[in-house]
């Protein structure tokens, strides 16, 4: 193993040096089974990959004291809103910031101490068990309820829209929760 110059060596022994592997003549090609050919696919339940997704869970700790979850399980609320926040950060091509999480928790009324009854009923149904990997499809459906146009707005605009009509931050056709 190579060693720095200041490390004493036995002058009678030959020191190994690093050699680069032989150069590949051909260009690298994405030919492994998991490699994507072309651009990121788009469609239902497909999103944009964003960097540093785990940091969003660290940022949630800053909002913990402000959350009003009602009957929604804490882990479900966090998993669903982190997924929405990651959609927002990926739209901007960056890692998550606190405003992404504020926007996500605002859309579903978790930062409101007196959310509208219709939203409470909706989120109790939508967020049920979404933290579980077995309910990934439900989490993706939850994320798809918040249009990209809404998430591209400033957090202040999202809050203002929530206060005037919380439905304006979600898709036109909400699922029936009865």
pLDDT at 110: 94
Q: Is 114 exposed, middle or buried (0-12, 13-18, 19+ CB in 10 A)?
A: exposed
Instruction: Give tens-digit pLDDT for 58-82.
Output: 999 999 999 999 899 999 999 999 9
pLDDT at 16 over 90: no
Instruction: Give tens-digit pLDDT for 82-102.
Output: 999 999 998 898 899 999 999
How many domains does the chain fold into?
A: 1
**Phi, psi of 130, deg, nearest 5:** -70, -15
pLDDT at 23: 78
Residue 94 inside a domain? The answer is yes
Alpha-carbon 56 to chain mean position:
7
Residue 12 inside a domain? The answer is no
Residue 99 inside a domain? The answer is yes
User: Which residue has better confidence, 48 or 133?
Assistant: 133
Residue 133 inside a domain? The answer is yes
Residue 104 inside a domain? The answer is yes
Which H or E run contains 7? none
pLDDT at 26: 80
Per-residue pLDDT averaged across 157-172, rounded? 92
Confidence band of 34 (pLDDT split at 50, 70, 90): confident
Residue 74 inside a domain? The answer is yes
pLDDT at 98: 96
Give the helix ranges, DSSP H, for the chain. 55-63, 74-91, 98-107, 117-126, 136-144, 148-151, 155-164
pLDDT at 121 over 70: yes
Treating both helix axes as pointing N-terminal to C-terminal, what angle do 136-144 and 117-126 enclose, rounded to 10 degrees?
140
Question: Which range marks the domain in which residue 162 is found?
Answer: 55-169
Asked whether 106 and 159 are in contact (CB, 8 A), the reply is: yes
**Can you say whether the dihedral through the CA atoms of 110, 112, 113, 119 is positive or negative?**
negative
Per-residue pLDDT averaged across 118-131, rounded? 92
Q: Is 56 exposed, middle or buried (0-12, 13-18, 19+ CB in 10 A)?
A: buried
Asked whether 111 and 68 are in contact (CB, 8 A), the reply is: yes
User: Which residue has better confidence, 51 or 145?
Assistant: 145
pLDDT at 21 over 90: no
Residue 35 inside a domain? The answer is no
pLDDT at 107 over 70: yes
Per-residue pLDDT averaged across 125-145, rounded? 91
Residue 132 inside a domain? The answer is yes
């Amino acid at each position: 193993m190579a060693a720095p110059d200041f490390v004493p060596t036995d002058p009678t022994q030959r020191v190994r040096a690093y050699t680069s592997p032989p150069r590949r003549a051909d260009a690298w090609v994405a030919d492994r089974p998991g490699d994507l050919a072309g651009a990121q696919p788009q469609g239902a339940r497909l999103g944009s990959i964003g960097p540093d997704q785990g940091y969003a869970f660290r940022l949630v700790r800053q909002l913990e004291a402000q959350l009003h979850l009602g009957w929604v399980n804490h882990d479900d609320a966090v998993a669903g809103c982190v997924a929405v926040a990651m959609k927002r950060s990926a739209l901007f091509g960056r890692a998550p910031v606190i405003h992404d999480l504020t926007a996500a928790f605002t859309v579903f009324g978790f930062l409101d101490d007196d959310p509208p009854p219709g939203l409470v009923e909706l989120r109790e149904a939508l967020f049920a068990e979404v933290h579980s990997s077995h309910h990934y499809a439900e989490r993706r459906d939850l994320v798809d309820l918040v249009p990209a146009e809404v998430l591209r707005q400033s957090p202040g605009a999202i809050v203002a829209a929530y206060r005037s009509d919380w439905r304006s931050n979600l898709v036109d056709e909400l699922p029936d929760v009865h």
